[in-house]
């Protein structure tokens, strides 16, 4: 099923690129903003040294600072097709003081997650005209190339682990905003965008393992370095949904 989804996304992107290449009304948009991780998967909890529960911590690896480039082509005054690419600079998640209630006390054990993304998307955009203002909304899908870094620290045993997870996932997006034309060629825009992505790792690798500051990575077997038989849990499937606010400039040809 996942292979079929990826094929459909690739076909959609090819159709979009073909439309951008051969139709008129070409435009380019450059922008960025801030993305807030929306929801999450309950992977752990916070608690005190006395093992008093503080709160559950949902893990989301979609939060960060997205930078994007969109290339579009207007089919008519109200409809356009758009392809885009970008990069999201991830933000480290809230600390989880204890995972699955088996790894030490809350003041010494902690897990954090940090995700970075390269989305390649294609979509359809509907545009309204109110003088120089052009409200719009768009929907689309794409391939999200993700890298998630999971860190584990234990102050009691003075262990530090860092596992890098990577994968290509199919996702979708919807956005709405308004564009203001300063001139026929230059415009500025602001928008809200929701990306729906469930990150699933296809590869994992231990990139750091120290005990009391001493590098212990060479002591791991090849299988352990690639995530098999580790003494700590690894969350290979986590939510990456993101609600972002973006702004930028458009160049219209």
pLDDT (tens digit per residue) in 207-229: 999 998 899 999 998 988 887 88
The candidate with the shortest Cα–Cα distance to 173, out of 77, 68, 248, is 68
Cβ burial 156-169 (10 Å sphere, 16+ → b, else e): eeebbbbbbbbbeb
Structure tokens at 178: 């308004």
The strand pairing partners of 59, in sequence order, are 41
Residue 1's contacts (CB-CB under 8 Å, 6 or more residues apart) are none
pLDDT (tens digit per residue) in 153-212: 887 778 899 999 999 999 999 999 999 999 989 999 999 999 999 999 999 999 999 998
Residue 117's contacts (CB-CB under 8 Å, 6 or more residues apart) are 62, 64, 66, 86, 87, 88, 90, 144, 145, 146, 147, 197, 240
Euclidean distance between CA atoms 241 and 219, whole angstroms: 37
pLDDT at 41 over 80: no
CA-angle at 67, arms to 127 and 9, nearest 5°: 65
- Asked if 64 and 245 touch (Cβ cutoff 8 Å), the reply is no
The candidate with the shortest Cα–Cα distance to 48, out of 1, 121, 113, 97, is 97
pLDDT at 123 over 90: yes
pLDDT (tens digit per residue) in 175-185: 999 999 999 89
- Check: pTM over 0.75? Answer yes or no: yes
- If DSSP codes are grouped into helix, strand and coil, which group holds residue 98? strand
Domain ranges (residues) in the chain = 34-71+87-118+139-252
């Amino acid at each position: 099923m996942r292979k079929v989804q990826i094929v459909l996304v690739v076909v959609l992107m090819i159709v979009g690129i073909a439309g951008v290449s051969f139709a008129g009304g070409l435009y380019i948009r450059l922008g960025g903003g801030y993305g807030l991780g929306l929801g999450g998967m309950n992977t752990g909890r916070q608690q005190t040294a006395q093992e008093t529960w503080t709160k559950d911590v949902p893990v989301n690896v979609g939060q960060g600072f997205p930078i994007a480039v969109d290339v579009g082509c207007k089919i008519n005054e109200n409809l356009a097709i758009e392809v885009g690419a970008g990069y999201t600079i991830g933000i480290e998640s809230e600390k989880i003081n204890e995972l699955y209630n088996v790894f030490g006390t809350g003041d010494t054990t902690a897990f954090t997650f940090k995700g970075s993304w390269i989305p390649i998307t294609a979509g359809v955009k509907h545009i309204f005209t109110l003088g120089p203002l052009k409200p719009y909304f768009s929907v689309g899908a794409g391939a999200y190339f993700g890298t998630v870094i999971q860190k584990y620290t234990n102050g009691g045993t003075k262990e530090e682990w860092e596992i890098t997870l990577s994968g290509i996932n199919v996702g979708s997006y919807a956005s709405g905003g308004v564009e203001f034309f300063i001139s026929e060629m230059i415009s500025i825009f602001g928008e809200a965008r929701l990306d729906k992505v469930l990150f699933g790792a296809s590869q994992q690798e231990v990139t750091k393992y120290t005990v009391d500051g001493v590098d212990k990575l060479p002591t791991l077997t090849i299988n352990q370095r690639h995530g098999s038989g580790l003494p700590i849990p690894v969350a290979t499937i986590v939510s990456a949904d993101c609600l972002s606010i973006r702004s930028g400039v458009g160049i219209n040809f």
